[in-house]
Each structure stands twice: as structure tokens, then as C-alpha cells.
Amino acid sequence: MSRIGKLPIALPSGVEINVNDNNVVTVKGKLGTLTQSVDPCISLKVEDSLLTLNRESDQKRHKAMHGLYRALIANMVKGVSEGFKTVQEVVGVGYKAQANGQTLELSLGYSHNIFFELPKEIKVETVTEKGKNPLIIMSSYDKQLLGQVASKIRSLRKPEPYKGKGIRFQNEVIRRKAGKAASK
């Protein structure tokens, strides 16, 4: 069996899970509701606040789907009960980030400011302290959407390898290049 797929998913208190006839899983918790359609080769069973996934055969595709759907549903359960959070750093002289409701205003060294509209599922806040890089802190119950939006924001000004300027995830390691060597 798949090492990931065979692990049962513990359902915390306050999380409801429903599976309808079309293999669509709905997870409802205190932070929100998420749905995911599951491949018909995977069957789901809820017993004593544990969710287990089983596959119908040992085909390579079925093994892959087993681990995939277990991971997706586990992320949904964690998201509606605890939520997810990403922190990004804006590195560069004069680079700024400011949140106004669901709009993120970024000043990234271009001739214009960038206004980035965020989905309603994501909450954003910015922290600017003197002497430190501005931080963009986003939180949501949908891990997939949060990662996609964070990646899109990072793509507006990727960290460059010479000075390290750009938008990066906190604690991300950027491989630096030496630049021009002395001619001696």
C-alpha cells in the first residue's frame, strides 16, 4: 500500500465530513467549507472520527491517486480546523507593501505601484518595522489557493541572485552569485 495513503485521517472535533454518491467530499469546519471530487477508484470510510481511504487495485495509477487524495483531504481537514499561513519578505531599497482590505499595494521599483486584488478567502496583513524588511502575512483555510496566490505575488518581482532583491518567502535561501571579479 501507499505509505501516505494508508494513514488514517483524524477528524478533530467540530469538523464534519460528507461523501455523496458522485464521490465528492465536503469538509466543513469553524473556518469554512471545502469540497473536492475524488476519483472513483478510491473509496472513503468514516469510523470513530477517523477517515480511511482504500483503493480498488494495485495498479500504478491507483496507488498514485491513493496518496494524492489522502494528502488533499488531510489538508482540507487541517485547513478548516486550524488554517494555513504564509509569510513573505519584500527585500530591496524603497520596496514597500501595504494592505487596504482585500487589495495589496506593492511598490517594487517599477515606474508604477502594483495593486493586487486578493480572493475573499484570504486574509492579508502587512508589517513594516524600521530597519527590517516589510512582511506580507497571508492566512486562509484553503492551502491550494493560498500557495497559488503567494506564488503569483512572488512572481511580480522574483529574488535576483546578485543582491537578493525581490519578494521571497521568509527563511527561503537564495543562491547568491559573486558578480564581477577583480582583474588581478
- Block means of pLDDT (10 residues each) for the chain, 184 residues, are 80 90 90 92 89 89 90 94 95 93 93 95 94 94 95 94 92 88 61
- What are 145-168's pLDDT values in tens digits? 999 999 999 999 999 999 989 999
Say which amino acid occupies 88: Q
Question: What CATH number corresponds to the domain at position 13?
Answer: 3.90.930.12
Collapsing DSSP to helix, strand or coil, 183 comes out as: coil
- pLDDT at site 23: 87
CB 28 within 8 A of CB 48: no
Within the chain, strands assigned E span 9-10, 16-19, 24-28, 33-37, 42-47, 50-55, 84-91, 96-100, 103-107, 114-117, 123-127, 135-140, 166-169
> Is the residue at 182 inside a domain?
no
Residue 165's pLDDT is 93
Domain-embedded: residue 126: yes
Q: What is the dihedral of CA 166, 172, 173, 178, to 10 degrees?
A: 0
Residue 76 and residue 91 share a domain: no
Domain shared by 94 and 75, yes or no: no
Q: Which residues contact 47 (CB under 8 A, 6 or more apart)?
A: none
Q: Which residues contact 1 (CB under 8 A, 6 or more apart)?
A: 63, 66
**CA end-to-end distance (rounded Å), the chain:** 61
- Chain centroid, CA 172 distance in Å: 15
> Nearest-CA neighbor of 24 among 73, 66, 65?
73
Same domain membership, residue 61 and residue 110: no
Q: Are 37 and 89 found together in one domain?
A: no
- The per-residue pLDDT for 182 is 56
The number of distinct structural domains making up the chain is 2
**What is the structure's pLDDT at 2?**
58
Is residue 22 one of the residues assigned to a domain? yes
Whether residue 149 is contained in a domain is answered as: yes
What pLDDT score does 146 carry? 96
CA distance 77 to 69: 12
Same domain? 89 vs 76: no
Give the integer Cα–Cα distance in Å for 103 and 129. Answer: 20
Chain segment 113-125, per-residue pLDDT in tens: 999 999 999 999 9
Are residues 25 and 92 located together in one domain of the fold? no
Contact 34, 79 (CB under 8 A): yes
pLDDT (0 to 100) of residue 1:
43
Last residue of one domain, picked from the residues 35, 53, 81: 81
Say if residue 58 is in the same domain as residue 75.
Answer: yes
Q: Is the pTM of this model over 0.75?
A: yes
Q: What is the pLDDT of residue 184?
A: 55
